Structure 1
Amino acid sequence: MSAAVLPTSSGGRELSNPPSDGISNLRFSNHSDHLLVSSWDKTVRLYDASANILKGEFMHGGPVLDCCFHDDFSGFSASADNTVRRFVFGTGKEDILGRHEAPVRCVEYSYAAGQVITGSWDKTLKCWDPRGASGPDRTLVGTYPQPERVYSLSLVGHRLVVATAGRHVNVYDLRNMSQPEQRRESSLKYQTRCVRCYPNGTGFALSSVEGRVAMEFFDLSEAGQSKKYAFKCHRKSEAGKDTVYPVNAIAFHPIYGTFATGGCDGYVNVWDGNNKKRLYQYSKYPTSIAALSFSRDGRLLAVASSYTFEEGDIAREPDAIFVRNVNEVEVKPKPKALPAPPP
């Protein structure tokens, strides 16, 4: 993809009371500027990102590896203590929705199906009905074996994409989970870090530890598959030596369908996937980008600057959450130039 414009001068405002250990994920609510944050410090935190207020916090028995909203004041979390929990800020109510046999890496809530979907390092995907009574025996809808440990999940409508170790990708229809709709292998050669579905439901983006992103499409026809491609990003060349960084995070803009990527190089880039161009690069953040999320209207971008231990346990910058105002020029696709008229 082509070169970026000059970086901006500010990383955005920094939220007060950040987690004290690695940030595993952050997500904006679909209804407000509330931001849910999970961390290795065993907490799930709720912030009002616009007002810069910590509104609530829940403690877990182990590191929290993922979180998602149910509604504006409640949500679900996935923990290294093998549990899936639900919590309600304000009332302080919390319970265990279910368990896996190993750390739970991912959690998603499907508004279309009314189910919670979790992926674990026990090589299973599980679906839960949160409307049932407490307890895994009453809330578990189904267990679906995966070829390897689950690393990332993404939902669009009734479609679920599951990315696992070994570069496997399974695509499901939540209305019929008996078997995957599609079984694929990542077109990237190295371990998958993140998968995110396109907002328009036509495909998904995959990122890897080796500084690449692949743009994939669900349509298996020859014409559909001819659209897919991959590109290099989050790498630098100094003195003839290339340094390649993992791409940890992908977030799609809800209005324009462009997307941001965050890497262990501390940079956030914004891309126009349709025109295969980089639109913007923000100023370098203090350390690795662990997670990204656009607000529901695309006005805000939350950035987790959090060391991801790619270089070992070294002295590092403290974890921080930045919330930046998004300018249209940073995320809106540029119109293609019309060919010059014939002389």
Structure 2
Amino acid sequence: MSDQIELSSPPFDSVSQVRFSPTNPNHLLVAAWDTTVRFYDVAANEQKAKFDHRAAVLTTCFSDTNHAYSGCLDASVRELNLETEKIQHVGQHNDAISCMNYSSESNAVITGSWDRTLRFWDHRSASPQQLSHDLPERVYHMDLTKNTLVVAMASRMFHIYDIRKMDMPAQQRESSLKFMTRSLACMVDGQGYATASTEGRIAVEYFDPSPEAQEKKYAFKCHRQTIEDVDHVWPVNALAFHPIYNTFASAGSDGTVSIWDHKLKKRLRQYQKYKAAIPSVAFNCDGTRLAVGVSYTWDDGEEGLKNAERPAVFVRKVGDEVKPKG
């Protein structure tokens, strides 16, 4: 199949996150439970660098062309120099770091942790940690669009912040979905976000608190299949908005990736099924490729590990199927 490649030298253990460079459409980071962050040039299908950590890496992000960050189960934040392959310890949370984003608006790396804090690190200063913000619950996911930060926590809580005034959240919401939040992504036009749950549903939400805007929000079922009259429901592990068209991809433990037009409330495409669950997906900065991390996600505990496929990362060329129809 020529519209996708499988990356050579993938991680040995489950993929936790795939993340493209904000400026180079061929540069990809892959964080994994094998305690590595791998840096690839996907056009050449080559691993350019590998960063070994002391614990599973749960999250990673680029800050610029040559620098990235990692957040680990050992609660450490590290800076990765993609040219020299050097690792520098930036700072520490009190528990695992579950998610991170880089804000070009404020030149800060923002980390969310199970220790119930958000922390901002200014990598240009000698003592990088600027600010720590206490939250009511463990942080599971977050995403950033311009100056708006959405934080998904345990107990189905959401906080929405303007990162220029972090003294309190601009909005506090409860998830529209009944079950635990498994993924979150902000729309590229800054109007809202999508969130998904362990129970095969996606909700589309809008930031504008006015009743008119809030009337547009909705939720729908997906990543489900009826097999011999039994309904099988899978967690939706990952969401990613297309950087140009604002359509989005969803990926689940059923091994499928779908493309959705959230305005028309329609599925535009479902790609052929992968051999294992999909913990993470990402579009590149020019919207021509989609990275798909494929690996066992522990939905079936120890038992499922016996038959687990080895982890893989695929990079798929995308075409008109990601364009809205209207």
Compute the displacement of 1:10 (Å). 7.0
Partner of 2:226: 237
Alignment RMSD, CA only?
1.0
- Letter of the structure 2 residue corresponding to residue 200 of structure 1: D
Q: Does 1:22 align with 2:20?
A: no
Deviates further, 88-97 or 117-126: 88-97
Deviates further, 90-99 or 15-24: 90-99
Q: Does 1:287 align with 2:257?
A: no
Does the CA contact (< 8 Å) of 1:36 and 1:47 recur in 2? yes
Q: Distance in 2 between matches of 1:10 and 1:276?
A: 30
Q: Distance in 2 between matches of 1:34 and 1:252?
A: 18
Q: Distance in 1 between matches of 2:195 and 2:85?
A: 36
Deviation by residue 1:62-108 (Cα, 9 ceiling, x = unmatched): 00000000112211110001101101022122211110111111111
- Letter of the structure 1 residue corresponding to residue 7 of structure 2: L
Aligned positions of 1:63-102 closer than 5 A: 63-102=56-95
Runs of 4+ with deviation above 3 angstroms: none
Does the CA contact (< 8 Å) of 2:35 and 2:53 recur in 1? yes
Q: Distance in 2 between matches of 1:143 and 1:257?
A: 32
Identity of aligned residues (%): 48
Which residue of the other structure, out of 29, 36, 40, is the alignment partner of 2:33? 40
Deviation by residue 1:278-315 (Cα, 9 ceiling, x = unmatched): 00000000100111011111111100011101012222
Compute the displacement of 1:271 (Å). 0.3
Q: How many residues were matched structurally?
A: 322
Partner of 1:117: 110
Partner of 1:210: 199
Does the CA contact (< 8 Å) of 1:250 and 1:292 recur in 2? yes
Does the CA contact (< 8 Å) of 1:11 and 1:282 recur in 2? no
Partner of 1:152: 141
Partner of 1:311: 300
Q: Distance in 2 between matches of 1:10 and 1:234?
A: 26
Q: Whose radius of gyration is greater, 1 or 2?
A: 1
Q: Distance in 1 between matches of 2:182 and 2:204?
A: 14
Does the CA contact (< 8 Å) of 1:11 and 1:285 recur in 2? no
Compute the displacement of 1:158 (Å). 0.6
Partner of 2:123: 130
**Relative contact order: is structure 1 or structure 2 higher (C-alpha 8 Å, sep ≥ 6)?**
1
- Letter of the structure 1 residue corresponding to residue 32 of structure 2: S
Compute the displacement of 1:240 (Å). 2.1
Q: Which runs of 5+ in 1 are unaligned?
A: 1-8, 336-343
Does the CA contact (< 8 Å) of 2:289 and 2:315 recur in 1? yes
Partner of 2:150: 161
Q: Distance in 1 between matches of 2:225 and 2:297?
A: 18
Does the CA contact (< 8 Å) of 1:245 and 1:263 recur in 2? yes
Which residue of the other structure, out of 251, 262, 265, is the alignment partner of 1:273? 262
Which residue of the other structure, out of 99, 102, 105, is the alignment partner of 1:106? 99
User: TM-score, normalised on structure 2?
Assistant: 0.97
Corresponding residue SS for 1:289: coil
Corresponding residue SS for 1:66: strand
Closer/same/farther in 2, CA of residues 11 and 167 from structure 1, 3 Å limit: farther
Compute the displacement of 1:11 (Å). 7.4
Which residue of the other structure, out of 277, 290, 313, is the alignment partner of 1:301? 290
Q: Which runs of 5+ in 2 are unaligned?
A: none
Q: Does 1:331 align with 2:322?
A: yes
Partner of 1:5: none
Q: Distance in 1 between matches of 2:163 and 2:266?
A: 33
Corresponding residue SS for 1:255: coil
Which residue of the other structure, out of 172, 176, 190, is the alignment partner of 1:187? 176
- Letter of the structure 2 residue corresponding to residue 303 of structure 1: V
Corresponding residue SS for 2:279: strand
Aligned positions of 1:217-256 closer than 5 A: 217-256=206-245
Does the CA contact (< 8 Å) of 1:36 and 1:46 recur in 2? yes
Q: Distance in 2 between matches of 1:100 and 1:84?
A: 8
